[in-house]
């Protein structure tokens, strides 16, 4: 018997809506998951006053290291932070 299978791989990114940078080794950084390539990429995180607390133009940094909750060596307070991701995937989306 023979069969044909079409495998369609889609790149879908996911950013969690919370993280716990408390040093316990679990969810200590805010990362982008599932993204491997993008052009004109930018990932920014803002505090509730609108100040940028983290920024990167490097996909590998956003997916591998992310933001650890510190700014200039100072742990930021618990609270609401906003993020924005811009860029274009290899499929043009």
CA distance 73 to 49: 19
**pLDDT value at position 91?**
77
Q: What does pTM read for this prediction?
A: 0.81
For 36-92, how does the pLDDT look when each residue is reduced to its tens digit (9 = 90+)? 888 999 999 999 999 999 999 999 999 999 999 999 999 999 999 999 999 988 777
**pLDDT value at position 2?**
92
Instruction: Enumerate the β-bridge partners of residue 46.
Output: 52, 82
For 12-37, how does the pLDDT look when each residue is reduced to its tens digit (9 = 90+)? 788 999 999 988 999 999 999 988 88
**CA-to-CA dists, residue 6 to 3, 29, 36, 40, 89, angstroms:** 10, 36, 22, 30, 21
Smallest CA-to-CA distance from 79 within 10, 18, 9 is with 18
Decide which of 83 and 9 is more confident.
83
Instruction: Enumerate the β-bridge partners of residue 83.
Output: 45
């Amino acid at each position: 018997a023979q069969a044909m299978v079409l495998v369609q791989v889609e790149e879908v990114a996911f950013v969690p809506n919370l993280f716990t940078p408390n040093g316990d080794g679990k969810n200590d950084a805010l990362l982008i998951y599932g993204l491997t390539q993008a052009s004109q990429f930018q990932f920014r995180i803002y505090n509730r006053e609108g100040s940028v607390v983290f920024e990167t133009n490097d996909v590998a940094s956003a997916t591998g290291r992310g933001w650890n909750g510190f700014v200039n060596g100072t742990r930021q307070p618990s609270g609401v932070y906003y993020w924005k991701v811009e860029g274009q995937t290899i499929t043009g989306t």
